[in-house]
Structure 1
Amino acid sequence: MQRVALIGYGEVGKILAEDLRAAGVQVRAWDLALATVGEPHGDAMRAHADAHGVVPGRDAADAVAGAGLVVSAVTASRTLDAARACLAGLQAGAFFLDLNSASPGTKREAAAAVDGAGARYVEGAVMTSVPPHRIKVPLLLGGPHARALEAPLQALGFAARFHDERLGVASATKMCRSVVIKGLEALVVESLAAAREYGVEDAVLASLEETFPGIDWQAQASYFFQRVIEHGRRRSEEMREVARTVAEAGLEPWTAEAAARRQARMAELADAGAFGERGQPGFARSPDWRTEADRLRAACTSRGTR
Structure 2
Amino acid sequence: MMPRVALIGLGEVGRVFAEDLRALGITDLVAWDVALDDAQSRAARNAHDLGVATAASAAAAVEGAALVVSAVTAMNCVPAASSAAPGLGADTWFFDLNSSSPAHKQEAASVIHAAGGRYVEAALMSPIEPRRLASPFILGGPHAAAFSGDANAFGLSEARVGAEQIGVAAATKLCRSVVVKGLEALLSESLLAARHYGVDREVIASLSNILPEADWDAIAGYFMSRSLQHGVRRAEEMEEAAATVADAGVDAWMASAAVHRQRWAAQYGEVLPQESTSALVDAVRSAAGLDRED
| Range class of TM-score, shorter chain | over 0.9
Name the CA shift for 1:9/1:165 in 2 (closer, same or farther; >3 Å). same
Partner of 1:236: 235
Which stretches in structure 2 are left out of the alignment for 5+ residues?
none
Q: Give the partner amino acid of 1:4.
A: V
State the identity %. Answer: 48
Q: 1:279: which partner in 2? A: none
What residue in structure 2 maps to residue 28 of structure 1?
A: 30
Question: Aligned partners of 2:144 and 2:155: how far apart in 1?
Answer: 16
Separation (CA, whole Å) in 1 of partners of 2:273 and 2:212: 25
Could you list the runs of 5+ residues in structure 1 that have no partner in the other structure?
276-283
> What is the aligned partner in structure 2 of residue 126 from structure 1?
124
Does the aligned pair in 2 maintain the 1:126–1:137 contact within 8 Å? Answer: yes
Superposed displacement of residue 298, structure 1: 1.8
Q: Quote the Cα distance in structure 2 between the aligned partners of 1:110 and 1:19.
A: 26
> How many angstroms apart in 2 are the aligned matches of 1:42 and 1:129?
19
CA distance in 2, matches of 1:46, 1:203: 45
8 Å Cα contact 2:4/2:64 also seen in 1: yes
Instruction: State the Cα distance separating 1:286 from its structure 2 match.
Output: 1.9
Secondary structure of the structure 2 residue equivalent to 1:264: helix
- With normalisation by structure 1, the TM-score equals 0.91
CA 1:65–1:170 in 2, change beyond 3 Å: closer, same or farther? Answer: same
1:74-85 equivalent positions in 2, closer than 5 A: 74-85=72-83
- What's the counterpart of residue 278 of structure 1? none
Counterpart in the other structure of 2:135: 137
Alignment partners' CA distance in 2, 1:8 and 1:46: 11
Asked whether the equivalents of residues 9 and 43 of structure 2 are also in contact (C-alpha less than 8 Å), the reply is no
Match among 104, 109, 112 for residue 110 of structure 2: 112
In structure 2, the partner of 1:255 is 254
Task: Please give the secondary structure, in 2, of the residue aligned with 1:6.
Answer: strand
SS of aligned partner of 1:70: strand
> Superposition RMSD on alpha carbons, in Å?
1.5
Q: d(CA) in 1 for partners of 2:191 and 2:32?
A: 39
Matches within 5 A, 1:57-96: 57-96=55-94
| Counterpart code for 2:25 | G
1:9 aligns with 2:7: no
Within the alignment, does 1:298 sit opposite 2:280 as a pair?
no
Distance 2:20 2:143 in 1: 24
Q: In the TM superposition, what are the counterparts of 1:259-274 in structure 2 within 5 Å?
A: 259-270=258-269, 273=270
Match of 1:192 in 2: 191
- 1:135 is paired with a residue whose SS is helix
The Cα shift of 1:303 comes to: 10
Letter in 2 for 1:57: A
2:161 matched residue in structure 1: 162
Within 2, Cα distance between the matches of 1:91 and 1:57? 16
Deviations 1:150-207 (A, max 9, x none): 1201222112111110111111001111100000011011111111110011221121
SS at match of 2:265: helix
User: C-alpha deviations, 1:45-94, integer Å up to 9, x for none?
Assistant: 331231xxx22112111110011110100010111111101011000111
Q: CA deviation at 1:41?
A: 3.0
> 2 CA distance for matches of 1:115 and 1:126?
22
Amino acid at match of 2:10: Y
Report the Cα offset of residue 39 of structure 1.
3.4
1:246 maps to what in 2? 245
Measured in 1, the distance between the counterparts of 2:233 and 2:75 equals 9
Q: Does 2:287 correspond to 1:288?
A: no
Report the TM-score, using the length of structure 2 for normalisation: 0.94
Q: How many residues align?
A: 289
CA–CA distance in 2 between the matches of 1:236 and 1:285? 21
C-alpha distance after superposition, 1:116-155 (max 9, x if no partner): 1110111100000002111111000000111010120122
| Aligned match of 1:45 | 46
